[in-house]
Amino acid sequence: MAQEAAGRARLYNRIYINNIHSYSSKHISQYLSSCRFGASLVDPEVDEREGVQDDQTNEAKAKEGTFQIVGTTSGKAEQKCSFAAAEYNNLTQTELLHHLMECDVIFYNITEHADQIAEASWAVSALHKEIDEFTGPKMFILISTVMTWALSKPVDPDDPEIPFTEEDYRRRKAHPNFKDHIALEKLVVKLGKTNRSQFCTYVVAAGLQYGLEEQVFHLFFKKAWLGEAGGVPVFGDGSNIVPTVHVTDLARIVQNIIDRKPNPQYFLAVDDSKHTMEEIVRAIANNLGSGKTQTVPKDDLYLTQDLTQADIDSLFVSLRMEAAFLKENFNMRWISETGIVENIERVTEEYKLSRGLLPVRICLLGPPAVGKSTVAEKICKHYKLHHVRLKETIAETLANLEAGIYQDEGENEGAESSGGAQEFLETLRENMEQNGGLLDDQFIIQIMKDKLKSKPCTNQGFVLDGFPKTYDQAKELFSAEEDELEDARSKIPPHNKKIIPEFIFSLDATDAFLKKRVLNLPESVVEGTSYSQEKFLRRLASFRENNSEDETVLNFFDELEIPLEHIEITSSDDLDYLLVMEKVSKCVGQPRNYGPSSEEVELEERRQVEIRIREEAALQAEMERNEAEEAAQRTQKWEEWSRRLEEIQRQEDELLEAESVPLRQYLMRDVMPTLTQGLIECCRIRPEDPVDFLAEYLLKNNPEAE
C-alpha cells in the first residue's frame, strides 16, 4: 500500500511556485524542496524533511526523491534561492505557459500580492485548455485567504461560537476588498471538475500566517523587540478572533495535498486556536518585549507604512474556523497546532533567528579616564545597544522601585509585588546609609544582573561599561542558573550564557598619559566628579592593584575562552576614537538589528539635506564675500593706478614744458620774423607753388646765412 502511494506521489515531482521570494511562497518552497515524494503517506512520526545540501545539482535532488522547485521572481535583484532548481522573471505568457507545462504541480499563492490574481486566473485557464497536450497528470493548487469568508453568516445564528469548516465553503462571503480572490477560488474549483484524472485543482484558504521571519504580525514583533515606549499597540478593542496558521504547517498541508490527491477541492488551513487579536499581541509583548500593550484607535493602523491594505483588513477579521478535514484525513506533524499564543516562545525564537536579530553583548574595561564611556556611547550608537553603567543602573533601579510602589499602591492587584518592592527599596536605602551612599557587592550584583537580564538587553544587547571590577564580581554576576550548569567534565567553568559578554575590549594607557589627560580637563568638568586629582589618583591606584593579582576580571573571561582584544590608547588627538572603533567593528562585525527605521532614515535624509543646504549657503556666502573682496581690491588698484598715471602725466607735461622753453625762444627770435615776412610776400605775389616760394624765400633770407 505504501509503495503504491509512493508510486502515485512520484507523478508530481516538479513544482512551480509564483513569487518565490515572497514570505509565504519562499518558506513553503523551502520546505517542499527537502521533502521526499509520498513522505506524508508513510509515517507521520518520521520527519518528512530531509537535509539537502545547497550546492547539489537538480539531478542529484531527483535521485534523492525530493521535489524540484521552480518559480518566478518579482523582477527585482533578489539573491537566488538555494533551494530552487530554476528561477524566471519577465516572462511572456507564451514563455510562462511553456514552463507551466513542464511542471507536475502548479502552485499559486495570492495571499500577499493581489496583482497575482490575474496571472493565476490566466494560468489555470490556459492549462485547462491544454489538457489534451499534457504528458502526464497535473495539479493546480491555489493558496487563498480566509478573508474570502470574512462576511459569512454564522452556521447557527443562535450559536455564533460554532466554527466554520470546509463543508461550509459554498456559503462563504468575502470581504469587499477580496471579491477578486473569491472569484478566482470559484474558477479554480470549477476547472478542476472536468477531467480530474488529468487536471485536478485545489483551493487552500489559509489563516493569517505567522512563524519564522513573520509577515502580517511583523509590526507587533518588531515593536516588541525594539521595546518602544508605551508598549505594543492593540488597534481597536482587539476582541476579534483571528484564524491563524504557522507557515510551515501550511507547507505541510500543501505536501499532504500533493501526496494524497484528495477528493475535496476546498480546504481550510488554520490551527486550533481561537485567540483574539488582543491575546496575540499580549503574548508577543510578554515574550519578546516588556509586556506592556496600549490600546490605540483603529484608524491609527492606516498610518502605518509597513502594512498593505490587505494586511490591515486581515488584522480586523473575526472568524471561528476549524480545519476538520485535515485532522481526520491528513498525517500532519504540526509545528503549532494550538496556535501562536501557546507556542509563542518557539515562534519568537524563529523570528529572531530568521531576521538575524541576535544580541551583541560587549564588556568594556580599562583604567579611569581612558575613554571607556565615550567609546561605549559610540559602540551603542553604531550597533543600537544599551549602555549599562553601574551608577546610572543603580539610580534607575531605585527610581523604578519608587515608581512601581507608587503605581501598585493605587491598584488592588499586585500587593505582594508592591510589598516586595517596598522591602527591597528599604533594604537598599538602609545599606546605602550604612556605607556612605554606596551599596554592598551582593546588592550591586543583583541590580546589574537584573539589568542584563531585562528584555531590552537580551533582545538588542548591551555594552557593559567598566564593570565588573574584580574577579569575584565577575564570577557572581555571570554565575550560571540552575538549568545551565555545565557538564562536570567541561573545562570551561559554568556561567550564564544568556548574559555573558561575547566580546571583551580592554582599553589601556600609561599612568603618565592618563594623569596628563585629567590635568588638561577644564575645571568646570572636573569639579564635583571623580576626576579631581585626589579621587582620580585613588581610583587609578585601585584599578592597577585589582589588575595586578592572579585573579583579575580579564583572567575570568580568559578562563571562559571569550575573545579578548587589548587596545592601547597613546594619543589624545583622536577625539573620535576612530582607530578604536575600527578595531571594535572588525571584531564584532555587522550590526544584528533592523538598522535605522523608516522614520530614522527620513530624519537622517532631512538632516543631510539641511546640512547640504547650510553648506551650499555657506559656500555661496563665501563666494560672494570673495567676489566682494576681489571687486574692492580691483577698485582700489584701479584708483591707485589712475592716480599714478595722472602723476606720471603731470610730470611728463612739466618736463615737456621745461624742455620746450629754449625752442620757443629760438622760434620767436630767429624763425618767426623771417617766416612772417615770407608769408606776407607769398600773399602779395601769389605764386603758383606757395610752398616752394616760401622755402626759397626762407633760404634766401636766412639770418644765419648772412
pLDDT at 56: 42
pLDDT band at 107 (very low <50, low <70, confident <90, very high): very high
Indicate if the alpha-carbon torsion angle 315, 321, 325, 327 is positive or negative.
positive
Q: How far separated are the first and last CA of the chain, in Å rounded?
A: 161
**141 pLDDT tier (thresholds 50, 70, 90):** very high
Question: 204 near 254, Cβ under 8 Å?
Answer: yes
pLDDT tens-digit readout, 44-61: 544 444 443 344 444 444
- Is 70 exceeded by the pLDDT of residue 569? yes
Distance CA 277, CA 293 (A): 12
pLDDT for 103 equals 93
Q: Provide mean pLDDT across the span 126-140.
A: 93
Least confident range from 415-419, 437-441, 498-502, 616-620: namely 415-419
**How large is the greatest C-alpha to C-alpha distance in the chain, in angstroms?**
161
Same domain, 141 and 255: yes
Mean pLDDT is lowest, of 22-26, 59-63, 276-280, 532-536, for 59-63
Q: Tens digits of per-residue pLDDT, 230-265?
A: 789 999 999 999 999 999 999 999 999 998 899 999
Q: Which residues contact 539 (CB under 8 A, 6 or more apart)?
A: 368, 530
Claim to verify: residue 22 and residue 139 sit in the same structural domain: yes
Give 273's Cβ-side CA count (13 Å radius).
28
Identify whether residues 550 and 444 lie together within a single domain: yes
Among 540, 567, 588, residue at a domain's last position: 588
Which domain CATH number covers 552?
3.40.50.300
Q: CA-to-CA distance for 457 and 380, rounded, in angstroms?
A: 12
The answer to the question of residue 656 being in a domain is yes
Same domain, 43 and 128: yes
Residues 673 and 530 in one domain: no
Question: What is the pLDDT averaged over residues 2-12?
Answer: 45
- Share of residues in the chain with pLDDT > 70 (%): 88
**Average model confidence (pLDDT) for the chain?**
85
C-alpha cell at 331: 498525517
* Position 7 in a domain: yes
Q: Looking at per-residue confidence, does 605 or 528 come out higher?
A: 605
In this structure, the answer to whether residues 573 and 626 fall within a common structural domain is no
Do 481 and 405 form a contact (C-beta atoms < 8 A)?
Answer: no
Q: Which of 100-109, 385-394, 417-426, 610-619 has the lowest mean pLDDT?
A: 417-426
Instruction: Tell me: pLDDT of 16 over 70.
Output: yes
| Positions of E strands within 262-324 | 266-269, 293-296
Condensed to tens digits (0 to 9), the pLDDT of residues 320-365 reads 999 999 888 888 889 999 999 999 999 999 999 998 888 999 999 9
Identify whether residues 13 and 132 lie together within a single domain: yes
CA distances for 573 relative to 97, 366, 534, angstroms:
67, 19, 26
- Neighbouring CB atoms inside 10 A of 462's CB total 26
Q: How confident is the model at residue 139 (pLDDT cuts 50, 70, 90)?
A: very high
Question: pLDDT digit string (tens) for 476-493?
Answer: 999 887 655 555 456 677
Point out the domain boundary residue: 556, 588, 620.
Answer: 588
Domain finish residue from 321, 355, 389? 355
Q: Is residue 269 domain-shared with residue 250, that is, in the same domain?
A: yes
Is a pLDDT exceeding 60 seen at residue 72?
Answer: yes
Residues 173 and 262 placed together within one structural domain of the fold: yes
The CATH number linked to 316 is: 3.40.50.720
Tell me the pLDDT tens digit for each residue of 441-478.
899 999 999 999 988 898 899 999 999 999 999 999 99
pLDDT at 57: 45
Q: Which three cell numbers stand for residue 69?
A: 522547485
pLDDT (mean) for 564-574: 83
Query: 515-554, pLDDT tens digit by residue?
Result: 888 887 777 667 767 777 778 888 888 888 888 877 888 9
| pLDDT tens-digit series, residues 174-214 | 999 999 999 999 999 999 999 999 999 999 999 999 999 99
- DSSP-based three-state secondary structure for 321: strand
Is 705 among the domain residues?
Answer: no
Element (H, E) at 692: helix 690-700
> Residue 130 domain-assigned?
yes
My answer on whether 180 and 92 are in the same domain is: yes
In a domain, 706, yes or no: no
Tell me, yes or no, whether 141 and 168 share the same domain: yes
Domain assignment of residue 303, yes or no: yes
Residues 6+ apart with CB under 8 A from 680: none
Q: pLDDT digits over 209-232, tens only?
A: 999 999 999 999 999 988 877 789
Rounded to the nearest angstrom, the gap between the alpha carbon of residue 600 and the centroid of all alpha carbons in its chain is: 10
Q: Which of 88-92, 478-482, 629-633, 702-706 has the lowest mean pLDDT?
A: 702-706
Residue with cell 578604536: 580
Q: Which pLDDT belongs to residue 64?
A: 58
301 pLDDT above the threshold of 90: no
- Is there a domain that residue 679 lies in? yes
243 exposure class (CB count in 10 Å sphere: 0-12, 13-18, 19+): buried
Q: How far is CA 331 from the centre of its chain?
A: 39
Distance CA 632, CA 629 (A): 5
Q: Which stretches within 82-211 are classed as H helix? A: 93-101, 116-129, 179-191
pTM of the model: 0.76
Quick check: 144 and 242 in contact, CB under 8 A?
A: no
- Give pLDDT, residue 151: 94
The domain containing residue 504 runs over which residues? Answer: 360-588
**Confidence at residue 424, expressed as pLDDT on a 0 to 100 scale:** 85
Domain shared by 410 and 477, yes or no: yes
Distance in angstroms (rounded) separating the CA atoms of residues 447 and 443: 6
Cell numbers that stand for 97 in this block: 505557459
Residue 14 belongs to a domain: yes
Amino acid identity of 273?
S
Q: Per the structure, how many domains does the chain have?
A: 3
Instruction: Give 78's pLDDT tier (boundaries 50, 70, 90).
Output: low
Distance CA 100, CA 113 (A): 20
